[in-house]
Amino acid sequence: MDSVNVNGVGSFVPSICRLKIFYESPRIGAGGTSRSMVDFLKHNITSLAQSRPYIEFNVVHRRGAPELEATYNNGSTRNIICSKLNAKQIKEKTAELCDGSGSSATGRKFAQPVKKGAGSQRDLVNPTWNPFHSKDVYRPVLG
């Protein structure tokens, strides 16, 4: 039984499922680290949400540094602190999070084993005993 792709159904499954945007409204007369995040929210968030309708966007007001938090389908999350970025850089970071796969930044695939320790790659001096290749095998005498 073969599976056939019909009308493009199932051809695109995005790896990101949610993007949370945390910001703090800047106080009057204060510099604030969230000014660029507020500018990004005023001018760019609607076009970003319309271009990516498959992502759930959550805009959360809280105290602290502005932050982007992406949640991916494989269960991983990535956080980016945006306190020293301008609105253009925040837009680039959101595009990077939306187009990313959620895997680790080391480039290692999930199914690859992790090599631990500084062990030797050479074979042992005495190879393991195998009953099928050994000369000293017990063979019963029939008869």
Residue 117's pLDDT band (cuts 50, 70, 90): low
Residue 12's pLDDT band (cuts 50, 70, 90): low
pLDDT per residue as tens digits for the range 54-107: 899 999 998 889 999 999 988 889 999 999 899 999 999 999 998 887 776 555
Q: Please enumerate, as own/partner, the contacts of 93-101 that have beta carbons within 8 Å and a separation of 24 or more.
A: 93/68, 94/19, 94/48, 94/68, 95/48, 97/16, 97/19, 97/68, 97/70, 98/16, 98/19, 98/48, 98/52, 98/55, 98/70, 100/15, 100/16, 100/70, 100/72, 101/15, 101/72
Does residue 129 lie within any of the structural domains?
no
CA separation for the pair 93, 85 (Å, rounded): 10
Share of the chain above pLDDT 90, in %: 35
CATH number of the domain where residue 65 is located: 3.40.30.10
- pLDDT of 3 reads 56
Does residue 128 lie within any of the structural domains?
no
Does residue 116 lie within any of the structural domains?
no
Contacts of 87 (CB under 8 A, 6+ apart): 36, 37, 39, 40, 43, 44
Does residue 87 lie within any of the structural domains?
yes
Does residue 122 lie within any of the structural domains?
no
Does residue 137 lie within any of the structural domains?
no
The domain of 84 spans: 16-99
Note if the pTM is more than 0.85.
Answer: no
Domain total for the chain? 1
- pLDDT of 100 reads 83
CA separation for the pair 21, 18 (Å, rounded): 10
Residue 22's pLDDT band (cuts 50, 70, 90): very high
